[in-house]
Chains A and B, each alone.
Chain A
């Protein structure tokens, strides 16, 4: 079943690439550099989805103590780091031709960088704690605390300084973007989410197989 999802994700990504790089109109102000938005924005949205999944799985793990949820959280956590990292990288690449600098301490980039560090810490915590059950519990608590902090960090850093483009997609009213660009963006968002789902399932299955192999070895004991 997940092969279908994988195929679909691949197709959507290809479509998104074509639409974003080719079909969508060239930005009047920023030129072709603006096209990186078609990767940058879906990446951070997917990152948020991953963080949300870590939160849900962490709560579920503490509630039920079932290892299934721990594996979901682990897979989601890894992908969160990947997608948030991708957001930072593309943001930086976007910044160079647009603002003339690789990094600005503007609100969105800064809070995204913080998220990256927090979830990198999440992976670090998992790797440092040896006892698997303890690692799962600690990671779950961090997963919850981190997710709770995401909106707080977002608002605090934004109040603290603002330089970034106003949120064109996440504004409550209609997005103030060229409709063709909007469509291209949406295609890419869906493509990224599908890719995330596929990767998460594959990663989860790998972790499950590993756990099953361990149980079999132990049963022989």
Chain B
């Protein structure tokens, strides 16, 4: 394995290990998503039809809100004992650290998304199981794009007092294309539509992913070293 990949993998494994062992646990994100599920019901129910109609949007609202928290955690864990300095001092490619962080956050968010989709199917008695493979693909592509931009800004806001507010304020407007495309694709997946109408939206989403993955790989070292 090249040093670059070894570094990225090391950061990924470390983040997963720390998340699993941390007192709060990754469960906190899952519980938060579940809580949102209930909140949506209280806000939009008790008539299930309104919720069913809004489902794609609700999915991604939940994913993005929980995602902002997840991104914050990815760098909050580096604040203890100034571990961020440790990352800077390591003779490692900073782009690899970016990739590792991105992978860790994506994995965490995906876990939460899977739980949320499953819970939605159960609680609203929906037959979404046929759509699940496609839903997961959309979730993956959308999450990667969101995290690609998010990791940059999470690193920037990590040591600011106003970090909880500043991260969403900076990130969410930039992530709107992801929201639009992902909701549209989720909608098409749930409706069982073919790949035809979905294709331009896939192009948009994947294009976004590629552009910001590259941008992140190139600019992360500047953010880290600032």
**A residues adjacent to B (C-beta < 8 A):** 62, 114, 117-118, 121, 124-125, 128-129, 131, 133-134, 137-138, 140-142, 144-146, 148-149, 152-153, 155-157, 159-160
Contacts and interface: CB of A to CB of B under 8 A. Distances in A.
B156 A155 contact: no
Interface stretch (B23-31, B82-90, B203-211): B203-211
B223 A141 contact: yes
Given A121-B169, A159-B200, A144 B215 contact: yes
A62 B212 CA distance: 17
Contacts of B118: none
19 contacts: A114-B173, A118-B174, A121-B169, A121-B170, A124-B170, A125-B170, A128-B160, A133-B226, A137-B222, A138-B223, A141-B222, A142-B170, A145-B215, A145-B219, A148-B212, A152-B211, A157-B176, A157-B180, A159-B204
B160 A129 contact: yes
B57 interface: no
A148 B200 contact: no
B204 A155 contact: yes
Nearest to A159: B200
B176 A138 contact: no
Given A153-B176, A157-B180, 6 more contacts: A121-B169, A125-B170, A131-B226, A141-B222, A144-B219, A156-B176
A138 B204 contact: no
Nearest to B163: A128
Contacts of B166: 124-125, 128
Contacts of A152: 177, 204, 207-208, 211
B156 A156 contact: no
Contacts of A149: 174, 177
Nearest to A156: B177
Contacts of B130: none
Interface of B: 149, 152-153, 156, 160, 162, 166, 169-170, 173-174, 176-177, 180-181, 184, 200-201, 204, 207-208, 211-212, 215, 219, 222-223, 225-226
A110 to B, nearest CB: 9
Contacts of B169: 121, 124
A197 B162 CA distance: 34
Contacts, number: 72
B181 A156 contact: yes
B176 A114 contact: yes
B56 to A, nearest CB: 13
Contacts of B180: 156-157, 160
B1 to A, nearest CB: 29
A118 B149 CA distance: 13
B109 to A, nearest CB: 20
A144 B211 CA distance: 11
B173 A118 contact: yes
Contacts of A142: 153, 170
Contacts of B212: 145, 148
A148 B170 contact: no
A62 B149 CA distance: 18
A141 B152 contact: yes
A133 B222 CA distance: 11
A152 B176 CA distance: 9
A204 B181 CA distance: 39
Contacts of A141: 152, 156, 219, 222-223
A118 B204 CA distance: 20
A102 B156 CA distance: 36
A99 B110 CA distance: 43
Nearest to B183: A160
Nearest to B211: A148
Contacts of A159: 200-201, 204
Contacts of B156: 125, 138, 141
